[in-house]
Structures are given as structure tokens and as C-alpha cells.
Chains A and B, each alone.
Chain A
Amino acid sequence: MTALAERGRIDGAVARKPARSQLIGERWPTWGSVFIGYFVLAIIYFPILWLMILSISAEPLTGFPGDWTLRWYDDMLYGTGQREGEAYAVAGRVMEPLLLSLKIAAITAALCIVASLVVGPILPRVRFRGPMLLGFLMPLMVPGIVASVSLFLFYRLGLHLKMGEWSLGLAHFIWAFPFALLAMLVVSSRFDERLLDAAADLGASRWERFWQIQVPILKPGIFAAGFFGFLLSFNELPFSIFMRAGDITLPIYLWIQSGAHNSSVPLIFALSTLITIASIVLTFIAIRVAFGEPRAAKLKAKKA
């Protein structure tokens, strides 16, 4: 009897709720939001998917998929096939930008890690942290083309320095550092300084405190900083255009090739597909390494 009354009350409460949300018309906007959400996702991913599909099509330049083939991958990697000489030449030309981009990206990543590890832990604790942070993040707000032109004018025309790999690395670092710093701050602003006191109190030297306490706890931030540094540099185009001395990075190479109407364009589809897949794999590995360990340890502790 009372149980029934109880149920009645609960049902009543449940029943009233949808009535009210219908009144203010909540149902339609939900569907609208879902539709817009999927639409945005489609805009983002469809071109990439399209590119991937065309990369295994026989005639990608026609824009229609079909006649599936791995010929372009084959051509790109081994330079064999019907148009042997030409394809091999392209493959040779693509290796150089790829290696250069990997090299610059690795340097940028290293610089980002070191700089964000130096700045990140102290920035939340200095007196003018607000203006300081704003200063560090300013490059995010300056349009890339403006920043790159000003860098070029300053170093090339102002200081009369010769551009080269150093200037590419520097420009990429300037571009990537704000992201790396933000990633580090997510972790470092929550770092408990008292842990360093505790370590010192137990006999740890400055060096031991850094390597055994600070670095392991900031590890996710360090990985994120390096990861952002690497990917942002690897993909960077506007700074590279101004800050190079004839060096061709991978994005520059792709940009030049995709604009040119010659027979090596089909290889771009295959190359971009491979880069995309490599980026995704790298991202997953980075996330696992940075954030995966505590979970694994938790599982281990649970088993024990």
C-alpha cells in the first residue's frame, strides 16, 4: 500500500519532468545540436577520409575513387612501376623534406620541454604571474603571418643573419612554446611545493629533488610539451616559408607539390595518408606513455 503510494509519487515526479521540458521546447534543439555536431565532425574528417580513399584509387586526380590500387604507395616507397624514373625521383625528393621536418620537430620538441620545465613550475608562484603568462602566450594571438614576417625582418634585415636550420628551429619554437607551456601549466600549477620540502627534509639534494620528485610528477606535462612541440613544428608552414634558406620542410614540399600540376601529385595523397596515420599512432603512444602508467600501476596494485 505504502509502496504503491511511494511508486505513484515517483512516477508522478518522473512524468512531470518531460512535460515541462516540452513546454520550453527542449527536444528539438537537442536534435539540432546533435545534427550540427555531426556536421562539424564531417567537415573535419571527410576531406581526410576522402584523401585516404583517393590515395588507393587508380586515378586520384579525377576526384573519383575507384579501381583500388596500392600503386602510389609502391611508387612512393620503392620508386618502381611504370613511370619508374619519375617516381623514383619524387621519392628521393620526399625523403629529404621528411627527414628535415623530423629533425626540426625533434629539436623544437626538446626546446619546448626544457623551456616549459624551467618556466612552468615557477610561473604560478611569481608575483606578476598574470602579465607574465600573457606575455608568454602572446604569440598565440599574433597572426602567424605577421609574426613570421617580423621575425624575418628582424633577423634577416635587422641583424643581417643568414637563415638556415637554426632559424627554422627558432621560429618553430616561438610558435610552439605557448602551447607547450600551457600543457605544462596544467600539471605544474597543481604541483604541491611541500613535496620538495618533504624530500629535502628526508635528505634529498637539489638534483635528487628535481629528478626523483619534480620530473616524475610533471611527467604528463613534459610529454605534452614535447608532443605539442613536435607536432606543431612538423605541421608548420607560414613561419617556415619566411625563416628558411632554401630548406624544404615537409609542409613546404606538400604545399609546392599540391599546387603544381604534374604527375607526382598522386603521390601526395599516399604521403599525406601515411603522415596522418603516423600522427594518430604517435598521439596514442604519447598519451599512453604520459597518462597510462598510473592506471597500469593501479591494476598491478589491485592484483596484489
Chain B
Amino acid sequence: MNVAANSEGASSVDRGAASSGDGQILEVVNAIHRFGDVTALDNVSIAARRGEFLTLLGESGSGKTTLLRIVAGLERPTSIGRITIDGADATFLPANKRNTTTVFQHYALFPHMSVGENIEYGLRVRRISKEERKKRAEQALELMRLSGLYDRRVHQLSGGQKQRVALARALVTEPAILLLDEPLGALDEKLRIDMQVELKELHERLGLTFIYVTHSQEEALTMSDRIILMRRGRIVQEGPPAEIFDRPATRFVAEFMNVENLIEGSIRGVDRDQVTIECAGQVMTGPWTGRSRPEVGAKACLVIRAERLKLGAPPTSSSEPVNHVPCRTGATIYKGKYLDQMLECPAGPIKARIWDRAMPVEQIIGFWWRAADSAVTSLDAE
């Protein structure tokens, strides 16, 4: 175990050295963290490019916040290979010596200081002169569109303003990496969507590396350059948003990314990356997105989004492969902009999204989709 970890560590040292030239700003190698009997992080390694918007996505207890706190230095991992921040070794550096700052979920603004004093705090402990501090704090306030709030008390601010002050406070020290721990979690929905756009713009304007922790797949898709999806202290899948969204590696990823229809079956045939699976006598084909190479006879899961399903029979002229499944009509759920139509088919209930309400639902006897719109994933290792 130890030897394996060491050799792995050594190989990533080489990788790290090779890639630091490409502007790698963060590297965490073999982080393990336990709280008592609970393993919060199970040997996780991540890296971030300079200027990247990297999102750690996962449900609560997936280890994403623990990983962020380890990067910040606020949590000392049970065991760690190496942490490199901006080219320098930071493995055993305490939080106050690391060139990272964090925007906390509940802001953690100092209640006994004014807005200005809060923002200046990072500069104050760096022994920067009063005039310089004030100048930079005013600039940060302007950047966050909070000009004029310098003398305001923290408790007089709204939730959105507090969030912006927390951001200004974290940015004013010009860190190498900005860490954001579910920063929008405490805001209401409208404000959250506005702040998503604002954060994305801020990221582009500053060119700073953002590491963003969230449990919201929607936030992750909207803002990130790359997503690392975590579950039970391990990385399940990482890649650009489109890849996680369209090519889930496991059933869990598909479910987490809100794919409505998950059909489990066994693999009947493999043709390069196209896999045919069978469920309740129904044979369907889709591109393989799973982890290891698909094997005939193994269990797998075909996943297809409700909006990609089309009702009726497939057009005969179609040149690309399609899947066609017979069904009976189930319940219709009114959703405002669209309808969710439940369909009963041998493989179980299926949900289809109908945007065109003129369709008479009683006549539905089958539905189809382009094989390329679905994906065949691995099942999750328990």
C-alpha cells in the first residue's frame, strides 16, 4: 500500500514537473482524509491550470469541501503526497502562509469591523500602509459594484451585498487561486442566477484561477471550464461540462446530471464504441461512455434525456441508427413551458418531454430516439 502510494507519488512528480511549464497552478497528490471512522477523501489527486474555472461538484458528504479546505490549508489531511500552489511546495504550509483565499458559504465577515475594514484585513496582516489599503479596498468595492459602502457595518448589508464583500475581501490580496465554497448557497434563486453570470464575468476579467465547490449541477454547467464530480470521497468523472452532461461514465453521473431515463440491462453486442444492450426483450444501441471496456454479458445502463425522446414511429428515411420502443400512454404532467409525458414500456416507466402541445397523446404507441443521443454507462461500484 505504502509502496504503491510512493511510486504513484513519484510518477506524478514527473508529471507535475513536466506540466508546470504549461501553467499548472495547483496540484494535490494522493490526499486522504478521515474524520474518525469516516473517510472523507479516499486518495484523491487533482490539478488545475492557470486561469481555469474548476468546479468540484458533488452531493453533501462527497468530500468536495474537505478537498477545498485542504487546498486552503484549513484542514490538515490524514495523509498527503504533495500540494503545489503556483509552483511552490505548500504541503505543510499553514493556511495563513498559502497564496489562496476563500469565499465561505456563510460569508464569515468579521462582525466587529466595517465593510472597509473587512476588505482591508488581508492587507492589514500583510503590513500594508493605511492609505494603500484604503485605495485598494475602494478599488475592490468598485469592482464588486459596491462603491460607497466602505463605512457601512456588516449587519446592515443584504445577503447579496455580503457575498460581494466576501469576494472583494478575498480578491484584494491578489491570491494565486480563489477558492469558493458554495458561495451562492445562502442566496435566493434570482440573486443566485445573477451572481453566476457575475462570477463568470469576474473570472474572465481577472484571469484568476477559480476553484468552485457546489452541489448544483446547474451552477457547475453554467460557469466551469472543467468539472470534477465527486462521490463518497472519490472522483467519479472529470471533464468539460459538455462531456459530463452528454457522456456520463456511470449511472450515478447520469442520475446526478438529471438524466431522466435510466434503463439497466445486459450488454449483447459491442461494435467499436457502439454498444447494444437488452432490457426486458427490448434491444437498444448507444455509444459507450462507461469506464472500462464494455464486455458482452456484463450489466450496463442506457441513459437518455426526456427531451431527446420523440413520440411516434421513426422516419423511414433516417440514415443514422435509431432506437424504437413500443409503449402505452401514462400520466401527463403539466410543467408550464412543456409537458412531461409518462410512457409505459416493457423496460419500465419512461419520461418524455413534449414542447408541442398539439400532439394527441392517446395515439402514442411507441417512441424513438437517435442512438447517438443516448449513452451506455457503467454501473457504479459500491
A84 at the interface (CB under 8 A from B): no
- A15 CB-CB contact with B under 8 Å: no
- Binary flags per residue of B56-99, CB closer than 8 Å to A gives 1, else 0: 00000000000000001110000000000000000000111100
- Evaluate contact between A198 and B126: CB separation under 8 angstroms: no
In the complex, chain A residues whose CB is within 8 Å of the CB of B122? 202-203
**A contact patch SS:** helix
| Pairwise interchain contact A205-B125, C-beta atoms closer than 8 A | yes
Query: Could you tell me the distance between the alpha carbons of A297 and B102 in the complex, rounded to whole angstroms?
Result: 28
Q: How far is the CA of A205 from the CA of B153 in the complex (A)?
A: 25
**Contact yes or no, B153 A208, CB < 8 A:** no
Count of A residues near B, CB < 8 Å?
Answer: 24
Nearest CB of chain B from residue A183's CB, rounded to whole Å? 18
Known contacts A203-B125, A301-B152; decide if A195 and B110 are in contact (CB<8 Å): yes
**In the assembled complex, A11 has its CB within 8 A of some CB on chain B:** no
User: Is A44 on the interface with B (CB-CB < 8 A)?
Assistant: no
Q: Which residue of A lies closest to B169 (CB)?
A: A202
Contact A197 B152 (CB under 8 A): no
- Contact pick for A202, options B106, B114, B121, B152, CB 8 Å: B121
User: Does B356 sit at the interface, judged by CB under 8 A?
Assistant: no
User: Is A92 located at the chain interface by the 8 A CB criterion?
Assistant: no
CB pair A198–B110 under 8 Å, yes or no, is yes
Q: How far is the CA of A194 from the CA of B72 in the complex (A)?
A: 13
Q: What is the number of residues of chain B that contact chain A, defined by CB distance less than 8 Å?
A: 30
Q: Is A245 in contact with chain B by the CB < 8 A criterion?
A: no
CB distance from B268 to the nearest CB of A (A): 54
The chain B residue sitting closest to A218, CB to CB, is B112
Binary CB contact string for chain A from 262 to 300 against chain B (1 if under 8 A, 0 otherwise): 000000000000000000000000000000001001101
List residues of chain B with CB within 8 A of the CB of A212: 121, 124-125
Complex Cα distance A205/B73, Å? 13
A298 to B94, CA, bound (A): 36
Find A195's partner among B72, B101, B108 (CB 8 Å cutoff). B108
Q: Does A216 contact B (CB under 8 A)?
A: yes
Given contacts A201-B95, A297-B153, contact A213 B110 (CB under 8 A): yes
Ranked 10 nearest A-B pairs via Cβ: A198-B108, A202-B122, A200-B95, A194-B108, A204-B125, A216-B112, A203-B125, A201-B102, A203-B96, A200-B96
Can you pick out 12 interface pairs between chain A and chain B where the beta carbons lie within 8 Å of each other? A195-B110, A195-B111, A197-B74, A197-B104, A199-B125, A202-B125, A202-B173, A205-B96, A205-B125, A217-B110, A301-B153, A301-B156
